Amino acid sequence: MAVKGKVIFIDSVHPILFERLEFEGYECHWKNDLDRESVLKIIGDYEGAVIRSKFKFDKKVFDAASQLKWIARSGAGMENIDLETAKNRKITCYNSPEGNRDAVAEHAIGMLLSLFNNIIIGDQEVRKGEWNREKNRGIELKGKTVGILGYGFMGEAFSQRLIGFGVNCIAYDKYKKDYANEFVKEVNLNEFFRETDILSVHLPLTDETHFIVNREFISKFSKPIYIINTARGKNIKTEELINAVENGKVLGACLDVLEYESISFEKLSNSELPNTFNRLINSKKVILSPHVAGWTKESYFKLSNSLADKILSAKN
């Protein structure tokens, strides 16, 4: 079989993508142990590149990648790729939001139920021999209105999971229309602010969505709200969120992502974190997890398998 092209795997992904591409005639090379400068020296030999989140595909990389025809991003977000340059150079960019939408939806549900029922606090207290039943009396999801901000793969999956809890599910998406179904009602922004009890953020990170959830945005909600963020940390201005938690405008928050993450999401970007972070972690009204909402054993496979489907379907 003739070689269809050489593919460089810059980040680690599930090997099913490597295996399926090689089976179809691509020559694949694992290079996920190389630093950026080493990648720049060899990327000109490749027609395809597979990345995750840690590698930034900027103009300097595109200039070095003289034979590049496509980039495959394992995951949903494309903020580490200069999409305008890719478009100008007719380089196809693939991502795989289908791969972790189920994981994200389930994680968001888990965080919300934990917050509403004081599960983490209760667990810690029982381990210390404390049996505080009245203090840990929970509240129910049923009858609440969940407002989904951004109705893509993640938002849709979340609304599907919510239906069994008897909630009212509404969504606002600036760039989509006519998506209402048995799981969600499509609303305008005014209705979104008026009706929402629980805000769940499902947005990409762009110039427009950078710190979109800030003091002004939060103040527009008619009721005190809960906030869930399983999207991108910089969708929310942390200081203004914790201010709202402390003054009662936000009743609680579930954050799988933080403003302070590095681009790879594997460590915090500052060695000395601001006081805002300390306020956040000391609040009993906030539940945190380390950017793992989409990070399940099943999604690890599905992210790569979905990319293989797209690449092979386009190239055959």
Would 178 be classed as within a structural domain?
yes
Separation in Å, CA 57 to CA 23, 70, 73, 91, 163: 27, 12, 10, 12, 39
Asked if 172 and 192 count as a contact pair (C-beta separation under 8 A), the reply is yes
Looking at the structure, do residues 69 and 24 belong to the same domain, yes or no? Answer: yes
Same domain (yes/no): 84, 140: no
Same domain, 143 and 92: no
Instruction: Assess whether 230 and 157 both reside in one domain.
Output: yes
Residues assigned a catalytic role: 232, 261, 291
The 10s digit of each residue's pLDDT in 149-166 is 999 999 999 999 999 999
Same domain, 270 and 184: yes
How many Å separate Cα 87 from the centre of its chain? 23
Q: Give me the pLDDT at residue 261, please.
A: 86
**Domain identity same for 273 and 181:** yes
Which pLDDT score, from 0 to 100, does residue 316 have?
A: 46
> Residue 293 domain-assigned?
no
Pair (197, 251) in one structural domain:
yes
pTM higher than 0.85 for the full model? yes
- Domain tally, the chain: 2
Same domain for 147 and 91: no
Q: Is the pLDDT of residue 290 over 90?
A: yes
**Where residue 260 sits, what CATH number does that domain have?**
3.40.50.720
Together in a domain, 90 and 108? no
Q: Which domain holds residue 141?
A: 101-288
Taking alpha carbons only, the member of 18, 57, 15 closest to residue 36 is 57
DSSP state of 173: -
Segment 126-153, tens digit of pLDDT: 999 999 999 999 999 999 999 999 999 9
Q: How many other CB atoms sit within 10 Å of the CB of residue 246? A: 12
Which of 264, 115, 274 lies closest to 200 in space, CA to CA?
115
Mean pLDDT of 117-133: 96
Q: Are residues 79 and 186 in the same domain?
A: no
pLDDT digits (tens, 9 = 90+) for 106-116: 999 999 999 99
State which amino acid sits at residue 213.
V
Q: Which of 241, 174, 171, 179 is closest to 208 using CA atoms? A: 174
